[in-house]
Structure formats: C-alpha cells, structure tokens
Structure 1
Amino acid sequence: MVKLYDGGAYLVNGTQLISETELAEVNARRSTPITKEEARKGTIAYSILEKHNTSGNMEHLKLRFDSMASHDITFVGIIQTARASGLTEFPIPYVMTNCHNSLCAVGGTINEDDHVFGLSAAKKYGGIFVPPHIAVIHQYMREMMAGCGRMILGSDSHTRYGALGTMAIGEGGGELVKQLLKDTYDVAFPGVVAIYLTGAPASHVGPHDVALAIIGAVFKNGYVKNKIMEFVGPGVSSMDTDYRNGVDVMTTETTCLSSVWITDEDTRQYLKLHGRESDYAELNPGEVAYYDGVVHVDLSTIKPMIALPFHPSNTYEIDELNDNLGDILRTVEKEAAHILGTAKASLSLTDKIIDGKLMVQQGVIAGCAGGNYSNVMMAAHMLSGKDCGNDIFNLSVYPSSQPVYMDLVKKGAISQLMAAGATVRTAFCGPCFGAGDTPSNNALSIRHTTRNFPNREGSKPGNGQISCVALMDARSIAATAATGGYLTSAEDFADDYMVPAYEFDSSSYDRRVYQGYKQAKEDESLILGPNIKDWPSMSALTDNILLRVCSKIMDPVTTTDELIPSGETSSYRSNPLGLAEFTLSRRDPEYVGRSKEVNELEKVRKSGACPLKADHELESAFHALKEYLNQPDLKARETEIGSMIYAVKPGDGSAREQAASCQRVLGGLANIANEYATKRYRSNVMNWGMLPFLLDEDPSFDIGDFIYVPDIRTALDGTMDRIPAFVVKNEEGNPIHEIQLHIADMTPEEREIVKAGCLINYNRNKSSQL
C-alpha cells in the first residue's frame, strides 16, 4: 500500500501523523499549541539547509556544499568552464570518477584522454581522482564521502545519499562551477514531503521494488516535484543501510530535489565499517515537524515490481503483468509506435509471449542501484546451482565498486554467478545510460538500473534498430535467469536466506585513488587531448531578440536523453561543437541543420553586416514586423537572432548540462515550454544564457516561424509575469499575432547570467569589475 495524503500533516514524536484538519482538535489537548511556522523548522531537511545557508534568509537559500562529485561525462566541461571563469584551486573536496566513459575503445583515444585530463586537473587544482573500473560515482561517495548532516552536490542526477543522512543534489555543471568559484547554490526553500514507512519488506522484495512502488504513485501527479523527500517512520529500521541506499538513489525518478532519512545504529555501523564512524550523527525530526505532504508506505504490502518501457513510473506488480500480459504489453507497443513516429524501426513485445509466459532476452544487474553488495549477494544465492541456459537470454552483473567486488569474491558469490552462466564485469554505469550491454534489435532487457527511457539502452530508430528496457529488482532478475529468461517474480524463489555482513576492504582505494584535496600543484599542466575543446564564445543578450522555431515537440514529457542522446555520443562530451551535432538526433533529426542556418544569420549580424540580405525569409519577416509594430527604425543589426525549441515539458531525467549547452553552442537563445520537468534542467538553460520562457496556452506557431520579443532585458528586470511576443508566420504575407510569454521566478544572479549570455561571461564580467 502506498497512500498519498491530500494536504500537509504534522509528525509528532516521530510516530504520530496528524493531518491539517485534525490539528485544532489536537491543539485543544496540548498545553503548547502546534503552529505550522514553528513545525516547519522541525524537519531534518530544515536543520541541514539552515546549517548550509549563507543568506540569513531561510525563504531564499544560498547554499554552500561540503563536497562535490562528477564523472567522466561531465567533469571535463565543468573544469573547462571554471577555468575560463578564473578557477585557481578546488575550494572543497571534488571527486572525479571515471565510470561512464570507461570503455576506452569507444571513439579511439577520446575517452582515455578525458581520464588523463581529469587526473591532471586533480593534481593542478587539488581534487580526488577515481580511475576507471574502481567504483561507480555514487558508490564511492557513499563509502568515502557521505556523512550525517552533510550536503553534497553532483553533476549526475542520481546524486542521492539520503540514507546516510546526507542531503545530496544532482545538478548541471554550471551549479558545480559556482561552488568551485565560491559562489552559492540559490533556491527558494523547497517543500518537504514525509515518506512515512511502516512494516517490513518480505525477503523476496528488494529495494527496487520499494522504489518503483513509490515512483509509480508520485511521478505522474508531481506530488514531490522539486521537493525534499524525508524518510521517517518505524519501517526505516526494517531495512539495513545498503538496502536503504538502493531505495534512496531512485528518488531522482520522482523529480524531487533531494532526499534525507532518519539515521540510526545501522547507519553508524555502516560508517564505522568504512572507517568513518566520526561522520555519524543521529538525525530525527523534532518533537513536531510539519510536512507539505505525506506518502505512507506499508512495506509489508510491497510485492515484486516491474517498470515497463518507457519510464520508471510505468509500474506494475509482476504478478499483475503476468496475469494480463497481452493487454498490458499492447499498451507499451502503442506507446512505442507513438515515440518512433515515422522512424524505420518498430517494437513488438506480444510476440515474446510463449505458452502464456513472457520471454525476455537479457538481464542486467548494475551500477549505483543494482550493483550494491546485498543485491548481488541475493542474486548469487538465488542462482546457486541454477542454470541461465544457453539460449538467447543472457545475464550480466556489475558490482558497484572494487571493494564490493572483492568481498563478493571472498564470499563465493562471483563463482556462484559465473557457474550459473552469468558474466561479471567491473564497476561501470554503461548499462544505465546506454553504453553497455546494448540488446539486439526488438529485444526486451530487464535491468536493476536507474532508468528505462526510450532509446537509453542504445537503440537507433533512424537506422531501424529499437530495443527496450524494463526495470526490476535483482532478486526477480535472478529468478527470471533461473528459469532461462521467462519473466518470474522473486516470490517464486523465496526462502529465509540472510545476506552475510559486508566486509569492507579499502586497499583498492588506498592504492589507486589520487587524493589531492588541499594539495593543489599550481605549476602542474593540464593535459588536453585533441578532442578536448574550449567552449565557443557566446554574446550578451541584446534588448530585442528574434527567435526562429527550430523544433516543436508535443509529447507530454521530453527527456534529456531526447534532447541530447546518452550512450555512444558520450565520446564527444569534451567537444562542445562535436557533441552538438547529436542534439535531438533521435527525436527531431532536422533540428541541427535548422539551428545552424539560424546561427549563420546571427554570425552575419555580429560581423556588422545586415543579416536581412543573407536570407529572404528573415527579410520578409522583419519587414512585416516593422509595419505591424509601426517601428520603421527597427534595426536588424541590433536584434539578436537565435534558434528556439518548444516542448510541452522538457528536461526529465539526467542532470547533464549538455542537454542545454548543445542548444546554446548551435545558437539557441530560448526554450518555450508549458512547464519544465526539473529544476536542474531549467538551471542548465539559464546557466547557458538561454531564456526559460513559459507559455500557458497551446503554441500557435510552427517550425520555421519567427517570434519577436522586444525589450527582453527590461523584462528580466521586472516581474516577468507578462512578456509580450509577436509570432510572425513563415507563410504568404507573414501574418502576425501577439502571444503572452512569462518566466518563473529567477534569482538576481540568474537574471544577470542570462543577460551576460552564459555563466562564463557572467564570471568574467565579475572578475573585470574587481
């Protein structure tokens, strides 16, 4: 059972929930009445945010973090941005792991060049460098950096260490750059939602089952969007910390801002095991804590779950799916047809029903969600003496770190898995983001990883290739493997097995991880491979702008994977212009060409020439504007020209700033949306100097039309709730009509960043004024 409260609630003494409607009755029996204003201060989240806030105003936070983390898809761009902005030394511990671009054969030497760059940066600026195959980013941070009451910022959306009492936030690279330059993370005080846990999960129910049940209940209605999920209640103690970590990392898929859990003796023992008992502190809500909502989860009612393509919220109990295979799978096929549109590929799942059972082609247990010690140990136990078979089904297991791998070897789990026919790999995030274990065409892969977005497993629909991923817990994946690939609930294999205690051995970290914090070597040279390029220059925002609609996406949600594909494109992450060639390539392949054409016109304008002479359609539109607005003196040379994307709800998923920077380096000036799926994507848009416009009604413009926005710099100085804009249709006579745009609240710094043209320009401007 997962129950959502309608409205807020008060938690008294950590055990009694009182809805807002019950408060008056409760206060009548208390000597000291409960007030919402004081109770808001009783959450764990409030205490941590207050400790890290530098503004003196808890309604408008300016946060400084204790440490940061990036992986090898993001750290090169972050350091290049910070270096262009005046970086001299890392002011806080900055961990750089190499767990995404670990496959150094992809793209020739490109990936390994990024690793070499990262090590040289760790030496020069005083960072912590974790070489390839040693650990995935979040497992290293759990084992070595997270601590009770801390805050960690990461450039990966699954930056979540709440089960260790750490409030961690995944953001785009620009926000990490601000911390490197000793600036702050600015955000209004977020709502806090209690995840109130009771009962205990059954032995065959794993952390992914719990997480998927919660995601399925809260994602579509936005119940926790941009809020903090605070895990409380007696059910927390029924799970050990490794299990809690597996639930916690998936909170990202709810679109919450962050998460934090109460801590207890098991938390202490986890930190002690990793040589960091001093990082423990007991965290509990105050005597009375007010929450903006409550998700009540009875853990004893959770059953083995599956999230079908194409989102972690598309959840079913495995038993429910197996009882209704044809009907449910046909809904996925319809969704696939909608996503693929006119692409050459097609997906069929009902043809995989054999004798009433669903045959899957691949299983993967990996990364920060699946590769945890207890998950792999349970899978190994369930597969002991079993046989995955020698048909098309195959199983791959990726332990989350070398220390985890070492103990799995000592416990015999690795040999059990191998004897059953599974292959075991090193720590790698590839199966999660689309660069490892790509299934065959029209195949279904079941994975204990974090996401199953369209094409995330490496498909190329434009080339006729499509496969898909369903998310499941390692326990049910092992049960499926034990039956040769027929979808099976772990409940069918349930027994009383207890995972033996984990024994952490830090020797692989001690010998291979470069620890450079507070040991910056100013004279050390950065080593830049041929694919590591500087960011191209970007100009400041002009008073008036003319946008050309270069893509229009009417899907309910557009993920960052659709904006810039993950997977094989990661080889170009350090080359802004090279990577930009893949922008929207799996959703709107014509976008890049359209944007480049617009950018060429802007280059003409910036050169001092008249852009109207370079393009007949632009000339016609501009002349129509002059006449419609009765402004004969309107000057094209003073009007910035840029490309624009419309999407209903863009930005669900990854924190990768490239989802925005790729638009910008192609000449993007703005996005228009009905809403933005996540704060982190909207932050990326602003940090790259693009305007995050909102439009309440359906768009009245199409690809190729122009949108003129006058006095935009003045608008950025105001309330931004009504920004007049004029649509110039790209058709006979260039008819014009007015629309009303608006922009949600921006901090003063964000407004100045957009005016400057990007974060790099903003920081350079600040430096020149010192």
Structure 2
Amino acid sequence: MIQCFDKGVFLENGQLTETAPVPAARARENTMAWQILQAHNVSGDPERLQVRFDAMVSHDITYVGIIQQARASGMKEFPLPYALTNCHNSLCAVGGTINEDDHMFGLSAAKKYGGIYVPANQSVIHSYAREELAGCGKMILGSDSHTRYGALGTMAVGEGGPELAKQLLKNTWDVPMPKVVLVYLTGTPKKGVGPHDVAIALVKATFETGFVNNCVLEFCGPGIRDLPIDYRNGIDVMTTETTCLSSIWETDQVTEGFFRTHGRPEDYKPLHPGEVAWYDKYITIELDKVGPMIALPFHPSNAYTIKEFLANAEEILKGVEADARRRFPKANPHLTDKIHDGGVWADQGVIAGCAGGLFDNIAEAADILRGKFTGSGAFSFDVYPTSVPVSLELMKLGATADLLESGAIIKPSFCGPCFGAGDVPANNGLSLRHTTRNFPNREGSKPGEGQFAGVCLMDARSIAATAANGGRITPATDLDYTPVHHEYHFDDTVYKNRVYYGFGKADPSVELQMGPNITDWPKMYALSENLLVELAAVIHDPVTTTDELIPSGETSSYRSNPLRLAEFTLSRRVPEYVDRSKAVARQETARREGTLSEHLRQVLSQVGDADRLAESTQFGSCVFANKPGDGSAREQAASCQKVLGGFANICYQFATKRYRSNCINWGILPFTLDEGTPFDYESGDCVFVPHIRQAVEQGREDIPAKVICRDGSVHDLLLHIKGLTADEKEIILDGCLMNYYAARNKE
C-alpha cells in the first residue's frame, strides 16, 4: 500500500530509476521544489535559502500578536498581500466580546496597513487561501501549521508568528535547502475510500520514524491523474502531520480547471519535474490498495484500517484507555464500553475544517445518507462547510437538504472542532472526525478535571456510513451507494460584498481599534553572560505537542493578552508549571533589583562565588521534553514560556522546525542533548550554563553545563545549539525578535 525507501532515486520521464545519464547533484535542480524555492531565494546561495513569500495568511488566534510585533518593530504597511481570516475565535466569549474585539482590531489593521480582512464564518483560513491567493509556482506563508496548498502548485509553509512579522518587515525566511522526498502515486482509489484515508495511511507510514521531518514532499506519478482537486487538497493538507516542511504536486488540466472555476485562469501553469530529477528519498503509494482508515487517540499516526480496528477493538481500545490513564491520572476512561450489540459505537460524527469541509467530501456524504437517518439515540452528526461559497453550492445542488433530512446539523465555516472550541463530546464520549488532529485535549475536554473524551480521525465517507448506521462504526466500502459527481461552481459574490480588500491601499490615519484584552508584550531582557535555569517541567513522553505546551479551545479568547494566556501554559500536562515558573521569575526580578534570594544564592554557590555570579547570571525557568513542538505552528507555545520567565528548552530533538524557530524568536535557547545521554533529573533541579553569551556569539555548538540537583549534587552535562544563522544568534543575544528589531531601528 505505502512503502518508504530511505535512499535516493531518479525520476526520468516520469519513471522511477536508480541510474540516470545526469549526475544527482545536477538532477536535484530539476525538482519542482528546487525550482520554486530558488525563484524565491534572495540569498544568492542555493544551499542557504532566504525566502520572500508572495502572500501570507493568519487567523484570529494569531494575527493580533503578529501585527503587534511588526508595528512595535517599525512596520508602516503590509508589503505583500496578507489575509486576516476569522475562523478560530469566531465565537464571542460568553458574557463579553473579547473575541469580537480581536476582529475589530483586525479590520482596523487591514485598513491602516493595507490588508485583506475576511469576516467571521465566511471561510476557514486555508479555504480562503486556496480560493483567492494560491497560484502555480507561488509561495505562501501562514501562521497555522496546516498552511499547505501544494496540490494547487503552491509551496506553502506554516510558521510561528515571528516569521510572519519578519516578512512584514521586508526580511526573509531563512532555512537550509531542504531534502526533497518523492511521493509517487499509482492506481485509483476504490469507491468509499477518501482523501483522509490516504492521508492517515501516509502519516502512519512516516511520522514515528521522522522519515520526512523538515523535508519537502513532491507528489508525482500516474495516480494523480484521476484524483479530483478536492481529493488532492484533502491529502495535501494532512502532510503537516508527517512533520514535513512543505509540499508540491504536479499540475494538470484538473488544476487548471480549479483556477478557471475560481476566476483566476492566469494563476495556472503546468508544473512537472525536469526530464531527469533526483530525490533524497522516495515513497510509493498504491491508491487502489488503500482502505478506509481510522486514527485512534492520541495522534493521526496511531492508525489502523477500520476493518482491522473492528476485528481487534477490545484490545486496541484497552490500549487507548491505558495510555489515557497514564497521561491523565484524574480521568477514568471507559472506551471499551463502546463495544456492544455486535459493533463499536461512536457518540459523535463531525466533518469540518480545511481537511473535512471540502465540497466533494460533503457532497459524497450526502449521497451516502440520502434517504437514511442518523437515529434518535446519542449519536450526533455535524457538518461544517469550509467556506460560504462551498455552502452556497451545496445548497444549490440539494446536498444540504439531504443532510438536514438525515438528521445532520449544518454549521457555519469555523475551525472549532479541529482545536477544541466546538462539538466538545460528553465525558467518555467517542468522536469520529474528518479534521486534521486528534491530539490529547484537541476535542476540548478537560481530563485534568476528570473529563475525558476520545477522538478518532476518519474520512467523511466512512463517518457518513457510520451516521447512516446510527453511530455504529462502518467503513464506507461496506455500503452500497452511488456517488454522483457534481461540477463545482464558485460564486464569489459574498466575498465581494463582505471581504475587505485593502492590499495596496494602506491608510495611516486609521486608528487601531484596541479592546481591553489586547495588550502589549512585557519587557524582555538581553541574554546575560551566564545562564541558570530551573527545570519547571520534565516530560518524558515520546513527543510533546504544542497543544500540551499551550492548550487550544477556551484559552483562545486570551491569545491577544500575553499575560492572561501564559496562565494556561502546560496547564493540561504539568499543572504545577506556571507557579514554578512564576516563583523563578520573582527571584530573577529581585536579582535584577539587587536582592539575591536564599535559594538562588545556594544554587550559585555550588558552581562558584554566588555574589559575583549573581551580577552576570540570568535566572529563568526551563522545560525538558524528549521531543517537543509537534503540531500547531502557534508561537504562543514558546512565547508563553518566555512571558513566565522561561529561557531554555532542553530536548533530544525538536519535533518541528517551526517550534524551534518560535523558541529562537522568543529568545528561548534551543538546547539539545546527544541521543543516549541520560536525563533523569527532576523539576526543581537547575542547569548552569557558563559563558553562554560568548558561546552564542562565537557560534560554538558544544556547550558544557552543570546540573545542580536539589540534593546538592553537581553533574556535568553537554548541551548543543546547532546550526544557528547569523540573525538567529543576534535574536537570542538581544533576548527576542522584537528586541532585535528595536535595537536596529535605533542604529
């Protein structure tokens, strides 16, 4: 079905071969990824990219902070098309207007700086980017990890907010030329097998080993030909879950049809690898052998075929329960209760967002449910079309009526079910979702308070089949139905009437509309000569997600208020973290004011003269995790640590480039350890890093440190900071990206 080959391969005239008449070094320049990246590279060095993007997108959890950073650093207008969508904080806070204050800030910023403002519930971020911004050969940067438009010939990257602020300040996205991995598609999917099935199978094959980590996936092969554009988009958006950097697909008449339908035929051009192209690795996908898939909690890679899951449901669900008890001691999971009456029963089905809410997914779900009923039991079925134009077309062809008659509820364009702000299941509920993630707490439950729910990812087709059986989990391939192909017609009338198109029309006289929950960043300090950090959280899970570092869901209301939001840091994984970090920060404040706490004096005395060291040693908190930063691009996973006085992460490996960049941009030192180095230290132990400022200035990558344990023992520890660019060094030395820009604006 899917095979991964950890070796280079040539693609010669569309065929895989291990030998070719062109050297690999030259043939690598014939990949689509190379051609697009180099066309946007302004460094002059093809191996050290400095990229300027064609457009940017942000949603209402991130754009306030990005604009605040950029304007504090001297921005006067948006230098490129920048769309501000309102699809995450679309629900007003109960009893107040906190979220709507963010929206009014966004509209005023679009007018002041020349941006594009998409009002709430008009479109989810990635749908709008596909419909209005993507183009063959273009590059788009987004402050959301699922910024992926490769199926439309657009290389797109999801990053933390500071990277977007850099673009607004006419600076560049800096990265080494990534490896390019060929994804070679053959065959045609079976009826009932949808894009999420292919995507989940791909994530299962690649995630755990990190096979494509920080690589570009390049999709080629004869299997593309018969895939509709929504099918391609549905696979492509999930490539984020493989931890790849970006993606790009061959384009054809199907791609051309998309741009023609959306009134932008000029944005199409054929994209193919050169006659002979070379790839660092390759993956083969036989589409005809992919079956309906289900991804069990707590990751899209924890996947099985639905048939395999149903045959082994008790064993598999017991494993999920055991994992849940380990993660959430206060929770009492009972998912094996879902096995009864000859099947496994779900409580909820949801089709939503940039992956699920696509026109073809919903239209085929309607074909499956036409004339059937979801039942009057506990099972509920909610459908969120990805944009108002998609909703309009579904209404016109009658799919919306068919779904409503079946018992489904049609909801507005909103990303909530994907990050825990909508359709939160009941305690011990089992939810089936065609959304992008099923990380811990991603559905919005609060296991720290004893409430637990599980989310399984499935394709819209099998979710509809399950709904047709009243909640009994059913692969769509088991149902006899006739999918009807519907030609999509894009009507942009509502966009013309509701979207504010301000690019190129900046009006400096417009005042930013600031709500009481929109606040500036607290003062941050430059890196001192030495660094002492106290471990405020020690996490030995294989991977720590950004959702665990800063939870989504109800915390979203405070995304524009750094101090309020920081109170939620690690709240669902290490609830003690915030109080521990605050205690450290109070001691650092006192040190700056000339008073040395007894605790700090005692720790410093273990490595030298405490009074002398106190003059040149910053004291902050630190997070240790084996592999932190998988998942969302949200910069708050790092900035909240910094707001609380965090100065370092220590890990064996960063899960994603974007989280490591977030740490650097917020002045958090990205320390790594050699694999195999034991780290059996506990919260409250401290790590002293002498001469850290000098080490960063000189680009030293091996950094000796001392661990001072609470029992008074001292141990040597070798830390690393690898591959910092010149700008990244300066950002860390200055304390954060905002300080970096502020210092240069004074020069």
Same fold (TM over 0.5): yes
Would you say 1:688 and 2:666 are equivalent positions?
Answer: yes
Match of 1:557 among 543, 546, 549: 543
Residue 254 (structure 1) shift: 0.3
Determine whether 1:269 maps to 2:257. Answer: yes
2:38 to 29, 33, 50: 50
Answer yes or no: is 1:721 the counterpart of 2:701. Answer: yes
For 1:77-129, what per-residue CA distance to the aligned partner results, in whole angstroms no more than 9, with x for missing partners?
Answer: 00011111111000000000000000113462100000000000000000000
2:179 aligned with 1:191, yes or no? yes
Alpha-carbon displacement from aligned partner over 1:514-541 (angstroms, at most 9, x marks no partner): 0000000001000000000001110000
Is the CA contact (8 Å cut-off) linking 2:689 and 2:704 kept in structure 1?
yes
Letter in 1 for 2:595: C
Check conservation: 1:337, 1:346, Cα contact below 8 A.
Answer: yes
State the partner residue of 1:287.
275
Alpha-carbon shift at residue 719 of structure 1 (Å) = 4.2
Check the 8 A contact 1:532/1:574 in 2, yes or no: yes
Equivalent-residue separation in structure 2 for 1:720 and 1:164 (angstroms)? 42
The question of 1:522 aligning with 2:527 is answered no
1:465 to 451, 455, 470: 451
Query: Equivalents in 2 of 1:38, 1:568: separation in Å?
Result: 51
Aligned partner of 1:671 in structure 2 is: 649
- Residue in 1 that maps onto 2:109: 121
Of residues 419, 425, 448, the one that matches 1:439 is 425
Residue 499 of structure 1, CA deviation: 2.2
* Aligned partners of 1:207 and 1:473 also within 8 Å: yes
Residue type of the alignment partner of 1:610: T
2:368–2:481 CA contact under 8 A, matched in 1: no
User: Which residue of the other structure, out of 586, 595, 602, is the alignment partner of 1:610?
Assistant: 595
Amino acid at match of 1:117: F
Distance in 2 separating the partners of 1:339 and 1:106:
30
Q: How far apart are 1:423 and its partner, in Å? A: 0.3
Kindly tell me: are residues 556 and 72 of structure 1, through their superposed partners in 2, closer, same or farther at Cα, counting changes over 3 Å?
A: same
Q: What is the match of residue 501 of structure 1? A: 487
**Equivalent-residue separation in structure 2 for 1:167 and 1:494 (angstroms):** 38
State the partner residue of 2:64.
76
Q: 1:699 offset after TM fit, Å? A: 1.3
Paired amino acid for 1:737: H
Q: Does 1:489 align with 2:475?
A: yes
Aligned to 1:37: 25
* Letter of the structure 2 residue corresponding to residue 708 of structure 1: F
Identity score, percent? 57
- Encode CA deviations 1:600-641: one digit per residue, 9 max, x unaligned: 11111222x132xx3x22221112211xxxx57733032111
Confirm whether residue 712 of structure 1 aligns to residue 697 of structure 2: no
Amino acid at match of 1:53: N
The Cα of 1:350 is off from its aligned counterpart by: 1.1
- Give the C-alpha shift of residue 347 in structure 1: 1.2
Matching residue within 363, 380, 387 for 1:394: 380
Contact 2:699/2:724, CA 8 A, preserved across alignment: no
Cα separation, 2, equivalents of 1:366 and 1:237: 26
* Distance (whole Å) between structure 1 residues aligned to residue 151 and residue 685 of structure 2: 49
Alignment of 1:451-462 (within 5 A): 451-462=437-448
Letter in 1 for 2:404: M
- Please tell me whether the aligned partners of residues 106 and 571 of structure 1 are also in contact (alpha carbons under 8 angstroms): no
Q: Find 1:760's aligned residue among 719, 732, 738.
A: 738
SS in 1 for 2:554: helix
More displaced 10-residue stretch of structure 1: 554-563 or 617-626: 617-626
Asked if residue 619 in structure 1 is aligned to residue 601 in structure 2, the reply is yes
Distance of 1:232 and 1:680 partners within structure 2: 26
Matches within 5 A, 1:235-274: 235-274=223-262
* RMSD (CA atoms): 1.0
Mapping for residues 131-530 of structure 1, pairs under 5 Å: 131-340=119-328, 342=329, 344-530=330-516
Q: CA deviation at 1:202?
A: 1.2
**d(CA) in 2 for partners of 1:487 and 1:262?**
35
Q: What is the TM-score when the length of structure 2 is the normalising length?
A: 0.99
- Residue 18 of structure 1 corresponds to which residue in structure 2? 17
Could you say which residue in structure 2 is the equivalent of 1:644? 622
Structure 1, unaligned runs of 5 or more: 28-32
Structure 2: distance between partners of 1:582 and 1:152: 31
Does the CA-based 8 Å contact 2:604-2:610 persist in structure 1? Answer: no
* C-alpha distance in 1 between matches for 2:600 and 2:612: 14
Shift of 1:331: 1.5
Q: Quote how far apart the aligned CAs of 1:294 are.
A: 0.8
1:335: how far off?
1.3
Aligned counterparts of 1:101 and 1:662: Cα–Cα separation in 2 = 19
Paired position in structure 2 for 1:30: none
Structure 1 Cα separation of the partners of residues 246 and 229 of structure 2: 18
Matched with 1:4 is: 4
**C-alpha distance in structure 1 between counterparts of 2:224 and 2:699, whole Å:** 44
Using the TM superposition, give the Cα deviation of residue 737 of structure 1 relative to its aligned residue in structure 2, in angstroms. 1.6
CA distance in 1, matches of 2:94, 2:36: 42
Range that drifts further, 305-314 or 716-725:
716-725
For the pair 1:698 / 2:710, whether they are aligned, the reply is no
Distance 2:149 2:158 in 1: 11
Please state how far the C-alpha of 1:568 moved relative to its aligned partner: 0.5
Offset, 1:596: 0.3
2-side partners of 1:623 and 1:315: how far apart? 51
- Which residue type is aligned with residue 245 of structure 2? L
What residue ranges of structure 2 are gaps of 5+ in the alignment? none
For 2:454 and 2:94, how far apart are their aligned partners in 1? Answer: 22
CA distance in 1, matches of 2:370, 2:480: 13
* Superposed CA offset, 1:312-341 (max 9, x none): 00111111111111112111112112211x
Instruction: Say if 2:93 and 2:557, in contact at 8 Å, map to a contact too.
Output: no
Distance in 1 between residues matched to 2:364 and 2:708, nearest whole Å: 61
Amino acid at match of 2:185: L
**Preserved contact between residue 97 and residue 137 of structure 1 (Cα < 8 Å):** yes
SS of the counterpart of 1:498? Answer: coil
Task: Tell me if structure 2 keeps the 8 A contact 1:204–1:494.
Answer: no
Aligned-partner Cα distance in 2 for 1:152–1:298: 30
In structure 2, give the amino acid aligned to 1:243. Y
Other structure's SS at 1:624 match: coil
Report how many aligned residue pairs link the two structures.
Answer: 745
Contact 1:595 1:668 in 2 (8 A): yes
Indicate conservation of the 8 Å contact 1:610/1:636, yes or no.
no
Question: For 2:648, what is the secondary structure of its paired residue?
Answer: strand
Letter in 1 for 2:535: V
Distance 1:617 1:610 in 2: 12
Q: Secondary structure at the match of 1:634?
A: helix
Residue deviations 1:399-447 (CA, integer Å, cap 9, x gap):
0000000000000011100000000001000000110000000000000
Q: Specify the SS of the correspondent of 1:103.
A: coil
Name the structure 1 match of 2:97. Answer: 109
The within-5 A match list for 1:562-577 is 562-577=548-563
Aligned-partner SS, 1:597: helix
Question: Matched residue of 2:225: which SS?
Answer: helix
CA distance in 1, matches of 2:265, 2:479: 37
Q: What amino acid maps onto 1:649 in structure 2?
A: K
The answer to whether the 8 A contact 1:705-1:727 is kept is: yes
Q: Distance in 2 between matches of 1:172 and 1:107?
A: 30
Question: How much does 1:498 deviate?
Answer: 2.7
1:610 touches 1:637 (CA, 8 Å); kept in 2?
A: no
8 A contact 2:601–2:610 mirrored in 1: no
